[in-house]
Structure 1
Amino acid sequence: MTFQEWKVNLAEWLLLKVKYPSEFLMGTPGLKRFDQYNGKKKIILTLIPSHDNLGDHAIALASRTFIENEFPGFEVIEIGINDIYKHAKALRRVRHPEDMVFIIGGGNMGDLYRNEEWTRRFIIKTFKQYKIVQLPATAHFSKTPYGQKELKRAKKIYNAHPRLLLMARDETTYQLMKRHFADKTILKQPDMVLYLKKEKQGERDGILVCLRDDKESFLKKEERKALLKAVTDEYGEVRTFTTTIGKRVSSVSREMELNKLWDRLRGAEVVVTDRLHGMIFCAITGTPCVVIRSFDHKVLEGFNWLKDIPSMKLVEKPGTAEVLGAIKELIKSDASHENAPTRDHYFTDLKRKILGDAL
């Protein structure tokens, strides 16, 4: 560890102690770690990411914000994806009859992201006495022998839990859940990040681009390069951004890192992206956005929640001409977010639905 990294870690440690004193018990090992919660109603928010993807950290922030706003009578305990294994026993030891476990959503249900899916199953098996709420997720089980074996294991574990509430953030996932987890309560809800509202008026200038270069990308490497060149030729210097920032993000630093990115988006005339959360970040910041599909249904169906926003435009067949045409249309129309759906439109009944069979 370098001296600079040591200073960053120390700063985060001190901030965490100040921000969450009730959750930060130095020198309280093992089973006594959560004793101060004994006799109190709690919501355990878990599967919190440890990687550098700001989309997932925005989900974690939005999920905590939702719980704090909608369930003020409950204490909130955040547990990271890698920490739930060592803290599960201590958490069960201080269980209150009304305690619930909330698992953050995202695109990691299925065989694409093994660590997240296996940890989810551990949570479902370990907290069998609790109401468990899986917040809005996208599921993808591949048609490979491995993918189908993982689906079979997921069915066995999910269906064995007596009070598991599942939420799908797209129609394909909703139908998959209805088909394979038929006796569970299943809701269709948008991504939790839409619970946040970060709009702020300001001067906008230039084009911002965020394109995937991983296994979820619809565009090939040559197509991405050609698209960037075409946008540059048409509009001059094109700035790029990514939602994977290449450094550790903690529960303390996540809001700072997210605000830095959201401020950049607010300064753009148009954003071009094939990332689900690139699109959603534009929605919550009021930024005009050209949306390019991903390799699966995630972005296409995620856009269905936003299709009534005039300044969001989907390009299903993302050729260079089509993308340039969409950018030009948004600039020419001076589209705004004035008639965009509100937080209440998406989430007004969610608390009632969660509590419907919680107790």
Structure 2
Amino acid sequence: MSVLSEAKSLIKQSLNAVQAPRNRKEFLSSLHNDENKPAILLTNTAAYRNLGDHAITMGEYAFLDHYFPGYQVIEITAPQWRNMRGLDIKYSMPNVEAVFLHGGGYMGTLWGGNEENNAMSQINHAGDLPCVYFPQTVFYEGGSAAVSLKERQKFYQAHENTLFCMRDRRSYDFMRKEFSFAKTRTIYTPDIALFLDDPIGQQARYGVTLCFRHDEEKASDDASLKHIVALLDRQQLSHHYTDTVADHSFPLTQREDEVHDKLREFKSSQLVITDRLHAMVFCAITHTPCIAFNNINGKVEGVNQWIKDLDYVRLTVPEAVTEDLIAELIYCDTSRSQSTRQLLQGAYDDMSRSLAGFTGLRMQVQGE
């Protein structure tokens, strides 16, 4: 780096340091925090186009509102946190009684660790406030896995105020083995998006929707997709392609509308075939027949264990899909099926009790 470049960098850092307090003050005022009411801080939420992540956030809000209605929920997205450069949560928001970290599949090395690093920063700046990871999948692979795992072990051992919710059995077992010091603060829970009720009215169903990954988590190859399409063509079933990643950016004020539009698209299908976790979850929520394939870190199979009693959602492998299976699911009557919240009510009740016990939050369970 040249002397001039280094000088410019130092000036920029100095200006950021000077502006940071004012930026934090402006940001805090934008949160509409009623300081006279106890609060839960929901952090690290997604602000990009992945509708699965936005459905998770909606599920988190619904869960907190249902079990902890006495608290206001204040949301800070992952990009907002990065821009705050180390906000002291306990000092800046003294009415916050617990920090809840956005769920998903970002623990480990699969996505480079950036979102988990962000979450760890939030835990670091929470002081002694209890911190809870909403349901997660954890996955380590590659040459950096051993180093990253050791760093995470050291961090979480030093932060005993953190509780881990794991949404699949493999992640739960991994955490209890590799983070054995946190056995008593690791629990097995459903994916939080499954807490959502179906918001879409009755829809006429037509054709088959194909929703496949094109990223690091993809496990099915192109030959598998061609096999599926050939089966549909032989049965003269129309099909179209979609994704649970929106093809456009949108403000958070449109989060609910965007997720509902995708739910409506799925509910208008006779059948969805997918290797995306939240495409399967959207089908479960909307009572839409679904054939699901696993992905590279096993989270589709893991979360499917929670909804395996829904006979209209089938987990299999591409080569096992037949014309008979497609026909069976297309003509499957899903109208009398339980909602996913009803199906998993007991598990969510248990989860809420564990969270209340760990955080000290006052909870409310219907019937108690």
Q: CA RMSD in A?
A: 2.1
**Residues 1:163 and 2:161 aligned together:** yes
Q: Return 73-82 or 169-178, whichever deviates more.
A: 73-82
Aligned match of 2:80: 83
Cα distance in structure 2, aligned partners of 1:78 and 1:267: 32
Shift of 1:225: 3.2
Q: Is the 8 A contact 1:273 1:290 kept in 2?
A: yes
In the aligned structure 1, how far is the partner of 2:250 from the partner of 2:189? 26
Q: Structure 2 CA distance, aligned partners of 1:296 and 1:86?
A: 31
Note the C-alpha offset of 1:124. Answer: 2.1
SS at match of 1:252: helix
Inter-partner Cα distance in structure 1 for 2:271 and 2:36: 51
| CA separation of 1:331 and 1:89: change in aligned 2, threshold 3 A | closer
Deviation at 1:282, TM superposition (A): 0.4
- Counterpart for residue 10 of structure 1: none
| Structure 1: runs of 5+ lacking an equivalent | 1-27
Does 1:236 find its partner at 2:237?
yes
Q: Which residue of 1 aligns with 2:66?
A: 69
Given that 1:31 and 1:93 are in contact with CA atoms closer than 8 Å, whether structure 2 keeps it comes out as: no
* Cross-structure match for 1:197: 197
**Aligned match of 2:25:** 31
Does the 8 A contact of 2:289 with 2:332 survive in 1?
A: no
Say whether residues 1:274 and 2:271 are aligned partners. Answer: no
What CA distance in whole angstroms lies between the structure 1 residues aligned with 2:258 and 2:331?
32
Question: Which stretch of structure 1 is more off in the superposition, 214-223 or 296-305?
Answer: 214-223
Percent of matched pairs sharing the same residue: 29
C-alpha separation between the residues in 1 aligned to 2:23 and 2:219?
A: 47
Compared CA separation, residues 183 and 37, structure 1 to 2 (3 A): farther
Q: 1:43 aligns with which of 32, 40, 62?
A: 40
Distance in 2 (CA, whole Å) between partners of 1:213 and 1:34 is 38
> How many corresponding residue pairs?
329
Question: Deviations 1:222-246 (Å, cap 9, x if unpaired)?
Answer: 3323422432342332122110112
Counterpart-to-counterpart distance in 2, 1:227 and 1:189: 32
1: CA distance, partners of 2:221 / 2:27: 49
One-letter code aligned to 1:261: K
The code of the aligned residue for 2:189 comes to Q
Task: Flag the 1:249–1:138 CA change in 2: closer, same or farther, 3 A.
Answer: farther
Contact between 1:31 and 1:89, CA under 8 Å: does it hold in 2? no
Instruction: Give the drift of 1:256.
Output: 0.6
CA distance in 2, matches of 1:311, 1:269: 11
Q: Distance in 2 between matches of 1:158 and 1:323?
A: 46
Cα distance in 2 between the residues matched to 1:196 and 1:166 = 21
Over 6 Å off, 4+ runs: none
Report the TM-score, using the length of structure 1 for normalisation: 0.85
**Residues 238-277 of structure 1: per-residue CA shift (max 9 Å, x gap):** 1221101122233211111111111111111111111110
Residue aligning to 2:130: 131
Counterpart amino acid of 2:190? P
Aligned to 1:108: 106
* AA partner of residue 231 (structure 1): L
Shift of 1:333: 4.2
**Residue type of the alignment partner of 1:34:** L
Supply the AA of the counterpart residue of 1:209.
Answer: L
**Cα 1:281–1:105 shift into 2, 3 Å:** same
- Determine the structure 1 residue equivalent to 2:173: 175
Contact 1:47/1:120 (8 A) holds in 2: yes
- CA gap 1:216/1:33 in 2 versus in 1, 3 angstroms: closer
Maintained 8 Å contact 1:32/1:90: no
Letter in 2 for 1:50: A
Distance 1:282 1:337, change over 3 A: farther
1:277-296 alignment to 2 at 5 Å?
277-296=278-297
The answer for the alignment partner of 1:254 in structure 2 is: 255
Residues 34 and 51 (structure 1 numbering): CA distance in 2 closer, same or farther, change over 3 Å? closer
User: Which position in structure 2 is the counterpart of 1:53?
Assistant: 50
SS at match of 2:181: coil
Q: 1:160 to 1:250 in 2, by over 3 A?
A: farther
| Displacement of 1:98 | 6.0
- Displacement of 1:332 after TM fit? 4.2
**C-alpha separation between the residues in 2 aligned to 1:68 and 1:30?**
27
CA–CA distance in structure 2, aligned partners of residues 135 and 54 of structure 1: 17
- Contact kept, 8 Å, 1:313 with 1:326, in 2: the verdict is no
Aligned 8 A contact 1:217 1:294 in 2: yes
How far the C-alpha of 1:218 sits from its partner, in A, is: 1.6
Report the secondary structure of 2:272's partner residue.
Answer: strand
Distance change in 2, residues 1:323/1:260 (3 Å): farther
State whether residues 31 and 90 of structure 1, in contact with CA within 8 Å, keep that contact through their aligned partners in structure 2: no
The residue number in structure 1 matching 2:358 is 357
Unaligned segments of structure 2, at least 5 residues: 1-21, 361-368
Q: Report the counterpart of residue 23 of structure 1 in structure 2.
A: none
Residues 14-61 of structure 1: CA distance to partner in whole angstroms, max 9, x if unpaired?
A: xxxxxxxxxxxxxx7423643654454221111111221100110011
